[in-house]
Amino acid sequence: MWKDSFLSYLRFERNYSQATVESYGTDIAQFEDFLQKGEAGGNQALETADAAMIRQWEMSLLESGYSSSSVNRKLCALRSFYRFLLARGAIQADPTRRVSSPKKAKRLPCFLREEEMELLLDEMAGSDGFPPCRDRLIVEMFYETGIRRSELVSLNDEDVDAVSCQLKVTGKRNKQRIIPFGESLCNSIKRYRALRGSAVPPGGDAAFFVDVKGKRLSVGKVYALVRENLSKVTTLKKRSPHVLRHTFATAMLNNGAGIESVKELLGHGSLSTTGIYTHTTFEELKKVYKQAHPRA
């Protein structure tokens, strides 16, 4: 009775989609089945379930192979259901308040290996003209500076200093930072500027990266050209500019950079955000160990 009333409430008072309502109904029915089958004492009703029973169900789901994300979604359905019962006086206390959600497993960032990046940049160097030169520089700049797509697109010509070899980048919440770069990228920038000067009509945008009409590149255009070129050297499902940002951070740490320095270069507000890359480098160390040690 209460389950049907709850689902009707979601559909007609909260205007949830039919698919969402069905999903909530499935999750609640699964918990009800768990209560009825005796795994939590047997023959229990939804209204009499306590926190211990919900925790038992949570553990049984995890042991059955459900991901933490799936379990969290099911617990979300239960929490909504018991808040509904509490508001209508069907129960005296919400049992889900004493139940903690399982921690989500952190996904390791996708990145390209250094040899893959070198192969890609070599292949992209084979084409002449302004657009191919620009596209290669975009990939190279992502890889050598780790900037975000939005930061790259918003670069103005005055932000790119090929004399001091540094970028002035405006990041999230308009925070600015200076990113140094090397001689290779500096030479690519000079070549791009020379080709842009002859291929693009004067008096255009102040943007550093422009199209053949002198207009600032869109974030969509940058995403598309990066994805197209990464497809040439990797089978990763993710082939976005952010993969190149991950590649930059991973390469820096693998080659001895301190995590504090990488944090500043990436423009992270917290060291914990940068910390995920240490997991990536540790995975690399494990692979090297297994390949190299005779008793691994």
Q: What is the pLDDT of residue 226?
A: 97
Both tokens of 158, joined, read 């005055």
Q: What is the pLDDT of residue 237?
A: 85
Task: Return mean pLDDT, the chain.
Answer: 89
Q: Which of 37, 104, 172, 287 is catalytic?
A: 172
Q: Please name which of 190, 228, 227 lies closest in space to residue 208, comparing C-alpha atoms.
A: 190
Please state the φ and ψ torsions of residue 170, each to the nearest 5 degrees.
Answer: -105, 115
Q: What is the pLDDT of residue 44?
A: 82
Query: CA–CA separation, 11 vs 20, rounded Å?
Result: 9
- Cα separations (Å) of 13 from 25, 120, 218? 16, 54, 41
Write the pLDDT tens digit of every residue in 262-279: 999 999 988 877 887 776
Query: CA–CA separation, 18 vs 31, rounded Å?
Result: 20
Tell me the helices (H) and strands (E) count for the chain, helix number first. Answer: 13, 3
Q: What is the pLDDT of residue 203?
A: 77
Q: What is the pLDDT of residue 292?
A: 63
Q: What is the pLDDT of residue 57?
A: 93
Query: CA–CA separation, 196 vs 31, rounded Å?
Result: 64
Residues of the chain with CATH 1.10.443.10: 114-292
Write the pLDDT tens digit of every residue in 90-125: 999 999 999 998 887 667 788 898 999 999 999 998
Task: Name the DSSP letter for residue 88.
Answer: T
Q: What is the pLDDT of residue 275?
A: 82
Q: Please give the span between the terminal C-alpha atoms of the chain, in angstroms, as a whole number.
A: 59
Task: Name the DSSP letter for residue 173.
Answer: G
- Cα separations (Å) of 219 from 26, 112, 147, 191, 268? 40, 21, 13, 23, 21
Q: Is 193 a catalytic residue?
A: no
Query: CA–CA separation, 154 vs 150, rounded Å?
Result: 6
Residues 6+ apart with CB under 8 A from 146: 179, 244, 245, 248, 249, 252, 265, 266
Both tokens of 34, joined, read 């768990």
Q: Is 245 a catalytic residue?
A: yes
Q: Please name which of 83, 95, 103, 104 lies closest in space to residue 54, comparing C-alpha atoms.
A: 95
Helix (H) or strand (E) holding 227: helix 219-230
Q: What is the pLDDT of residue 53?
A: 92
Q: Is 286 a catalytic residue?
A: no
Write the pLDDT tens digit of every residue in 185-212: 999 999 999 999 999 988 778 999 999 9
Q: Can you give the pLDDT of all 296 residues of the chain as single tens digits?
A: 899 999 999 999 999 999 999 999 999 999 999 998 865 556 788 999 999 999 999 999 988 988 888 999 999 999 999 999 999 999 999 999 999 988 876 677 888 989 999 999 999 987 889 999 999 999 999 999 999 999 999 999 999 999 999 999 998 878 899 999 999 999 999 999 999 999 998 877 899 999 999 999 999 999 999 999 999 998 888 899 999 999 999 899 888 888 899 999 999 988 877 887 776 666 666 665 577 656 64
Record: fold of 2-98: DNA polymerase; domain 1 (1.10.150)
Reported pTM: 0.63
Q: Is 24 a catalytic residue?
A: no
Q: Please name which of 57, 30, 240 lies closest in space to residue 139, comparing C-alpha atoms.
A: 240
Q: Following DSSP, what letter does each residue of 32-57 receive, concatenated?
A: HHHHHTTTTSSS--GGG--HHHHHHH
Q: What is the pLDDT of residue 131?
A: 96
Q: Is 172 a catalytic residue?
A: yes
Other Cβ atoms less than 10 A from the Cβ of 260: the count is: 10
Record: fold of 114-292: hpI Integrase; Chain A (1.10.443)
Q: Is 88 a catalytic residue?
A: no
Q: Which of 136, 245, 246, 263 is catalytic?
A: 245
Residues of the chain with CATH 1.10.150.130: 2-98
Q: Which residue in this structure is represented by tokens 């959600």?
A: 101
Q: Which of 148, 149, 239, 246 is catalytic?
A: 148
